[in-house]
Amino acid sequence: MVFAAPVMTDQTFEYSRQDASGASCVAQAWARLPQPLSPQEREALKARAAHLLQSRNAVLVAHYYVDGDLQDLALETGGCVADSLEMARFGREHAAQTLVVAGVRFMGESAKILSPHKQVLMPDLQATCSLDLGCPADDFARFCDAHPDRQVVVYANTSAAVKARADWMVTSSCALAIVRHLKAQGQKILWAPDRHLGRYIQEETGADMLLWDGACIVHDEFKGEELAALKAQHPQAMVLVHPESPRSVVALADVVGSTSQMLQAVVQGQAQTYIVATDNLIMHRMRQLAPGKTLIEAPTAGNAASCKSCAHCPWMAMNDLQRLVDCLEQGSGEVLLDAALGLQAKVCIGRMLDFVQAHPEALAPKVQGFVRGIGAA
């Protein structure tokens, strides 16, 4: 069966960033979004992609925020659906010589940095992240130069060039433990780029942290006041919050953690209802793993919803079945990195992976106060 190529629409988004002088400013970025496909089109593309993965001896490594069909396909074909830390580890350890990373650019780059000898493909290399965009390597280098007494700790959501300048990379699942470890060594920290995650870690650990001023355009939209009202309507619900969210939202959380940690909280929690403050595509996997539970999206900017406030990352949405088939058929979307830059960037990722391996308890989600149905935290 032959289907017409799906129509795409370009949308623009505003994101905040810090300039070289340290001042905050607003910039614009775009994402090319697919139109929905019919069930027949989806099935045909899924079957084609499964065949191509097998014939190319490739493995699909997907994030929880990508389209449900891609998540299912990854699991059905021996790949994985995971958070950014597990994606990096899975890609490094898997025997396949071609990794297809369904996520955003920094995830493909991390896979290539960790496995430079493998071919790393992405459905769309233009799938970026407002945190990555908001922390250009040149400005960041000047910021680091101005504070040579600090350990440079960067979030995974950054370019290879920014990672090459860092001492440590962290993801949301291990950031708290690593900063605690550095604080215990008496280190002062320069943190980039997410201001909300940085402030959260600073408050939790009491570490001396100088923060870059970036934000995730998706999580930045969650609203504390509206969440408090929703919580009042569902007093038995557990509130799960990704730490890229603003402080007023994190303050209402029962569990603060990475996407995997939030998923784990739904699967293991004894509550019936969960209010979820992260990209709503995570619900696809939550519903599969905890079918009887009630999941409610945390409120964003309100019902006037521009796509910016629809709790779905526009760049994750660029991972669609058609682009997946195209990259497998044509070998397009290959992540290419300067080898020397990759080697430099690998140092801070390697430090994190070694730390996590030596301290598996570092991956426990942060549970605040009393968790209903589980007990005192």
Q: Which is nearer to ligand SF4, 81 or 217 (CB)?
A: 217
**SS3 of residue 28 by DSSP:** strand
What does DSSP say about strands 8-18 and 24-34: parallel, antiparallel, or unpaired? Answer: antiparallel
CA 63/CA 337 separation, integer angstroms: 21
| 217 binds, options ligand SF4, ligand 13P, none, Cβ within 5 to 8 A by partner type | ligand SF4
Answer whether 129's CB lies under 8 Å from 31's CB: no
Q: Is 283 in the site for ligand SF4 (CB under 6 A)?
A: no
Q: Which stretch binds ligand SF4 (CB under 6 A): 89-97, 124-132, 250-258, 296-304?
A: 124-132
Which one-letter amino acid corresponds to residue 100?
A: V
Residue among 316, 317, 328, 345 that touches ligand SF4 (CB under 6 A): 316
Give the containing element (helix H, strand E) for 162: helix 160-164
Residue among 262, 315, 322, 324 that touches ligand SF4 (CB under 6 A): 315
**Which residues 138-197 are close enough to bind ligand SF4 by CB under 6 A?**
157
Task: Look at residues 205, 174, 106, 173 and name the one whose alpha carbon lies nearest to residue 189.
Answer: 205
Q: Which is nearer to ligand SF4, 104 or 161 (CB)?
A: 104
Q: Is 62 in the site for ligand SF4 (CB under 6 A)?
A: no
Quick one: how far is CA 46 from the chain centroid? 24
Contact residues toward ligand 13P (CB under 6 A) are: 83-85, 157, 171-172, 216, 244, 258-259
Is the Cα dihedral 344, 349, 353, 356 positive or negative?
positive
Answer whether 21's CB lies under 8 Å from 6's CB: no
| 315 binds, options ligand 13P, ligand SF4, none, Cβ within 5 to 8 A by partner type | ligand SF4
Task: Look at residues 121, 162, 208 and name the one whose alpha carbon lies nearest to residue 349.
Answer: 162
Q: Is 121 in the site for ligand SF4 (CB under 6 A)?
A: no
Q: Is 298 in the site for ligand SF4 (CB under 6 A)?
A: no
Q: Is 131 in the site for ligand SF4 (CB under 6 A)?
A: yes
Binding site for ligand SF4 (CB under 6 A): 104, 129-131, 157, 216-219, 244, 279, 313, 315-316
